[in-house]
Amino acid sequence: MQSFSMKRSQVSHLVPEPTPQDLERIGTLLRRIGGSDTAWGAGAKLDIWVIEQRAKLDQQMSERIRTTSVALVWATIGLVICTAGLIWATFAA
C-alpha cells in the first residue's frame, strides 16, 4: 500500500477566514441589495464570501491551464520542427 504525502509546492485546501474588511464590504453589498430594513445574517455573508473565494480560485485555475496550454503548443511546434528536420535528413541521405 502506497502512502501519499503533500509536497511543499502543493496548495493546502484550507481557506483563510474572511477579514473584517471583507465582512464590511459584503455587508455594504447586502444593504444595497436589500435596503436598510433588511437584516442579513452571518450565513448570507459567508455564502457570498465563499462564492468570491471560489471565483478567485477558478480564475487562478484558468490562468494555470492557459499557461500550460501555451507551453504545450510551443512544445508541439518544437516537435513538428524536429520531425520535419528528421524527415528532411532521411531523404537527404
User: Mean pLDDT in each 10-residue stretch from start to end of the chain (93 residues)?
Assistant: 55 78 93 87 92 94 97 98 96 85
Task: Provide the Cα torsion 24, 30, 34, 40; round to 10°.
Answer: -80
pTM, rounded to two decimals: 0.64
Question: Cell numbers of 24, please?
Answer: 464590511
- By residue range, what is the domain housing residue 65? 20-32+39-92
4 inside domain: no
Considering its fold, how many domains does the chain have in total? 1
6 inside domain: no
- Report pLDDT for 38: 84
How far is the first Cα of the chain from the last one, in angstroms, to the nearest whole number? 53
Distance CA 7, CA 86 (A): 39
- Report pLDDT for 35: 87
- Report pLDDT for 9: 61
- Report pLDDT for 1: 47
Question: Cell numbers of 9, please?
Answer: 509546492
68 inside domain: yes
Phi, psi of 31 (to 5 degrees): -65, -35
87 inside domain: yes
5 inside domain: no
